[in-house]
Chains A and B, each alone.
Chain A
Amino acid sequence: MKDNKFGKEIFEKIEENKIKPKPKWEFLLKNYLMWVFGVLSLVIGSLAVSVIIYMLRHNDWEVYENVTNSLLEFILVTLPYFWLVILALFILVADYNLKHTKKGYKYNLSLVIAVSLGVNVVFGGLLYNFGIGEAIDDIFGENAPFYREIINRRVPLWDHPEEGRLMGKIIEIESIDKFTIQDFKQGNWMVDAEDARTMPIIKIKIGEDVRIIGEPFADHQIKAYIIMPIGPGRGFLKRMPPIIEREMIQICPENSEFLCPEIMVQ
């Protein structure tokens, strides 16, 4: 390789193709964008953690025996897989972004995973305390496609009245111990709550969303042992079509203001 010839050829190419050094701002912008996307990934991961905490803290640990045969089965069935996958995915996205910053290649994957996870847990905990996890689950419950199939696999667990697990909205009240709820499939169930333990947060009133653990004893009749609030997945019940409201209006006796809250009058 002749020294001058080689250099000359390079300069000729530079001149021929009008090549110029790229401006500094282009590199700075790319670097900053990578950082911004990296931070954004951490924020999304933290939001996922806040939902995971919300779902785990309201995971009906006290009644797992009524839902599955063992604690292990209960954990496997109710783990918030969707949010765990989102968390893992955005940790990897954060790693990808970091690796594309100027000095990001110096950090190995296990360190990035540990630090990201730490940040996600701390900020996810804070967000959970501010009610963000709950709000996200409600929004997804109301709007996200495949919510009960993929996002919250806990919901279909409560769609088994034949096994004594039922979730729905109170649409008619005969007495405090006898009322009717409507489930996801628009099926009406007469609930006998005479011997039931009702969690204090529950108010037996029309429009209340409840879950019931009990035992079916006749066609569309169930004896309730435990009456609980919905918790994660409650936004999904808002998808139940307005048929419920119509039905509630029909069923609600005209002179019974006690049993018919204001929403019925609208």
Chain B
Amino acid sequence: MQNQELAGIEKIRPDCEKKTDEELAKLSLENQAYFLCIINRYKSKLMAYVKRISGSTEEDAEDILQEVFIKVYQNLNDFDSGLKFSSWIYRITHNAVISNFRKTKARPNEIQLDLGDDRIKILADDFDIEKELNIDYLRRKIFKALNNLDSKHKEIIVLKFFEEKSYKEISDIIKKPMGTVASKMNKAKSDFKKEYEKLN
């Protein structure tokens, strides 16, 4: 691409912020510049998500994310307005991470400790575990227990407690029925509790 054109694309349109994701997706098909709005809107969220479920380094996560945005661009016409755009883009990211695991035959690494004190307390409440007085100690124990979980269960917990997605959104992201999501969540919680208790 000519540098001039790139410069034009980089210059985000002033009305970008006011547009919904769904509108941006539609507009991107007519004008590539709008796609940059989507990239800017989602790159930080998706970068955190990729690192959380794969434990990748910044560099690897960036590569995965590049692949994700190119796939999103290629598949813009497949976006179904009956679905939330964020669920759709998270689904593509979820698939890209899985296919990256398959390609490199690597297992997910340990997830990273990037949850605030309040969220840690909520998570401890939701998981019905005894709260430690020292929040850092509690955080370390929670993450250790989480890292010992099966990757599928770990991802459900990440989506629910880290990405703050609803069951409906999780169902759309991992393409499983809501009932399956609920039963996976219960299993994840009970496995987590067992792992947490082992650490005591």
Q: How many pairs of A and B residues are in contact by the CB < 8 Å rule?
A: 75
Is A102 an interface position by the 8 A CB rule?
yes
**8 Å CB interface, B120-179 against A:** 171, 175-179
Is A7 an interface position by the 8 A CB rule?
yes
Give chain B residues whose Cβ lies under 8 Å from the Cβ of A21.
Answer: 29, 73-77
The answer on a CB contact under 8 Å between B78 and A10 is no
Q: What separation, in Å, do the CA atoms of A48 and B117 have in the docked complex?
A: 60
Q: What separation, in Å, do the CA atoms of A252 and B71 have in the docked complex?
A: 78
The answer on a CB contact under 8 Å between A10 and B69 is yes
0/1 interface trace, chain B 63-95, chain A, CB 8 Å (1 if under): 001100110011111101010000000000000
Contact A7:B10 (CB < 8 A) given known A19-B70, A108-B180: yes
Interface residues on A, range: 20 to 34
Q: Which of A8, A22, A105 sits near B177, CB closer than 8 Å?
A: A105
Q: What separation, in Å, do the CA atoms of A6 and B6 have in the docked complex?
A: 12
Q: What separation, in Å, do the CA atoms of A11 and B38 have in the docked complex?
A: 13
Is A146 an interface position by the 8 A CB rule?
no
Give chain A residues whose Cβ lies under 8 Å from the Cβ of B6.
Answer: 8, 11-12
Give chain A residues whose Cβ lies under 8 Å from the Cβ of B177.
Answer: 105-108
The answer on a CB contact under 8 Å between A7 and B175 is no
Q: List 14 A-B contacts (CB under 8 A).
A: A1-B47, A7-B9, A7-B36, A7-B39, A9-B66, A12-B6, A21-B75, A21-B76, A26-B77, A99-B175, A105-B171, A106-B171, A106-B178, A108-B179
Given contacts A1-B43, A6-B39, A27-B78, 8 further A-B contacts (CB under 8 A): A1-B62, A7-B39, A10-B69, A19-B70, A23-B77, A105-B175, A105-B176, A108-B179
